[in-house]
Amino acid sequence: MTKSNFSRREFLEMSAAAAGGSVAARSVLLSPEPLDTPARPMAPSDTIRFGMIGIGMQGSGLLGTSITLPGVECVAAADLYDGRHTLAREIVRPNLPVTRRYRELLDNKDIDCIVAAVPDHWHRQVVIDAVSAGKDIYCEKPMSHTAADGVAMVDAVKKSGRIVQIGSQRVSSQVCAKAKEMIAQGMLGDLMLVEGYMGRNDPTGAWQYPPPFDLSPQNLDWDTWQGNVPKVPFNPLYFARWRCWKQYGTGVAGDLLVHLISGMMFMVGINEAPRQASAVGGIRHWKDGRNMPDVQAAVYYFGDLPVYMRLNLACEMPETYRIQGSKGLLEVGGSSLSFTPQLGINTYPSYYTGSFPRAMREEYERKWHQENDEKLSKLAVQESISYRMPDFDDTRPHLANYFNAVRSRKPVVEDVVFGHHAALACHMANESYFRGGSVTWDGASKTIKG
């Protein structure tokens, strides 16, 4: 094979071979960290008593998990739909006090803190009411429904001094923690770009959820459910599929991108809003009356770091990050990560010399080998490493982190400021998509500018 016949890939393979013979591979199984919770039995005074607000798809899971944590008890639950009172009692106990009015939970002195999983358009009110009533609160992601909501929530929480944990559980994932450690150790060298994507391809993944059969204005407080949004007649599809409409939800950005952004911020060590965002997308497949895009790709500057995120509800792709550094590539999935080191140096004479006349090329190659072969032969073997963590549930440690913080008054892993910054990235992607141009975050006026 002559020099100029080499493909780029063959060069990379040869480079690896030249640099220490080969790239070794190592695979490690991660085991779950023990939850940082006190062992049972626990003094009654150490038991955390919480009230649950919103017992829907996510809330029912949070409720079921929370009550399995040592020293955590559910005292009461609130939901606007009576069917979810039945569900809460099925999960906790048949005589669990239930109500349609969440403020009753905030007034209840037996309740130490709140876990809330209500639709996005209710987050601001529930969080501000909770902290104003002196209750800590775990609020689902995205923290806010709009940038202005987020600003108001940060102000209220800071004023109150209460603990707020936002529910993007990636930040409690051990896979992300391992990636964070590797990045902080400098294994990737200088960070060049972070890429992230995920996709689904089925009606449920695209939020076409079946409304409960019996749902009606008799067993649902439809008027309150709509919050401050202009009122419309009872619509069971809005109740079940609120993510599809911007009046209630935050689209793929608030539903899915927020996980990618929170995980990225946690791994890379960023806690700020993006400087700039630009998004494209469209309602390309699920033309069911929704007004939020089912495909959205956003590019950001977080400081000077370029970040590129893609979401797709009509082409399945496992959630993946490709964190690209000058010393290697870190690929992070839901339950695994792998790091492939790169030397970032020439390990073979430059292929550009294929354009030299033979005598010049041979002279260049002779000199090149003379100057480089010995030092390359002494380079350590490059080791690619992967970690796997099958069957890991990151929601459990995320909730445990919250309840421990309520008990110890130590900071949570995802506070209101972090949650606000992650949510802002989603709002900026939506603003950019709807405006059809780049947007920036103006920290002085705390608004998104076109």
Residues that bind ligand NAD (CB under 6 A): 53-59, 78-81, 84, 102, 117-120, 122, 140-141, 167, 169, 224-225, 255
The residue with its CB nearest to ligand NAD is 56
**Shortest reach from residue 80's CB to ligand NAD, in Å:** 4
Name every residue whose Cβ is closer than 8 Å to that of residue 281 and which is 6 or more positions away in sequence: 252, 293, 294, 295, 296, 297, 433
Cβ 58 to ligand NAD shortest distance, Å: 3
Cβ distance to ligand NAD smaller for residue 252 or 267: 252
For ligand NAD, give the closer residue by CB, 58 or 386: 58
Q: Which is nearer to ligand NAD, 167 or 334 (CB)?
A: 167
In whole angstroms, the minimum distance from the beta carbon of 208 to ligand NAD comes to 13
For ligand NAD, give the closer residue by CB, 23 or 152.
152
The least distance separating ligand NAD from the CB of residue 9, rounded to whole angstroms, comes to 38
Nearest distance from residue 300's CB to ligand NAD, in Å? 21
Block residue for tokens 């609020």 = 139
- Least distance (Å) between residue 402 CB and ligand NAD: 13
Nearest-approach distance from CB 128 to ligand NAD, in angstroms: 13
In angstroms, what CA-CA distances link 388 with 28, 34, 337, 398?
Answer: 6, 17, 7, 19
Closer of 251 and 325 to ligand NAD (Cβ):
251
- Give least dist CB 142 to ligand NAD, A: 6
Least separation, in Å, of the C-beta of 173 and ligand NAD?
11
How buried is residue 194: exposed, middle or buried, by Cβ count under 10 Å (0-12/13-18/19+)?
buried
Rounded to whole angstroms, the Cα distance separating 334 from 196 reads 12
Q: Which is nearer to ligand NAD, 58 or 271 (CB)?
A: 58
**Can you tell me the distance from the alpha carbon of 273 to that of 361, in angstroms, rounded to the nearest whole number?**
51
Close Cβ partners of 54 (under 8 Å, ≥ 6 residues apart): 78, 79, 84, 116, 117, 118, 119, 122, 140
Query: What's CA 393's distance to the chain center, in Å?
Result: 14
C-beta of 62 vs 182, nearer to ligand NAD:
62
